Amino acid sequence: MIQVQVRVPEESVQVVDNWVNQGKFKSRSDSMKTILAFYIEREKTREFYNMLMQRSNEAREKPEILIPLED
């Protein structure tokens, strides 16, 4: 792992500290790793959705390029 120093608004740190105190995370560091992982996954999902929408639009514009799923 690489250590990174980040400046965060005080209110955000208070929220994270409350989560740690409630047992939702082991530490501030654990919360940041989890939050980043969720954000990265969300962006991957958004990219996949955009690709599906593009393919869907292409299929509407040129239905002859569709490949049947069943013979």
Q: Copy the structure tokens of residue 62.
A: 């040129």
Give the residue extent of every domain in the chain: 19-60
- pLDDT > 80? residue 67: no
- Alpha helices, H only, the chain: 10-21, 28-61
Q: What CA–CA distances, in Å, run from 71 to 46, 60, 64, 67?
A: 32, 21, 16, 10
pTM of this structure:
0.71
Q: pLDDT for 18-52, tens place per residue?
A: 999 999 999 999 999 999 999 999 999 999 999 98
Name the one residue in this structure whose structure tokens are 């939050």: 35
Identity at 68, one-letter amino acid code: P
- pLDDT > 90? residue 63: no
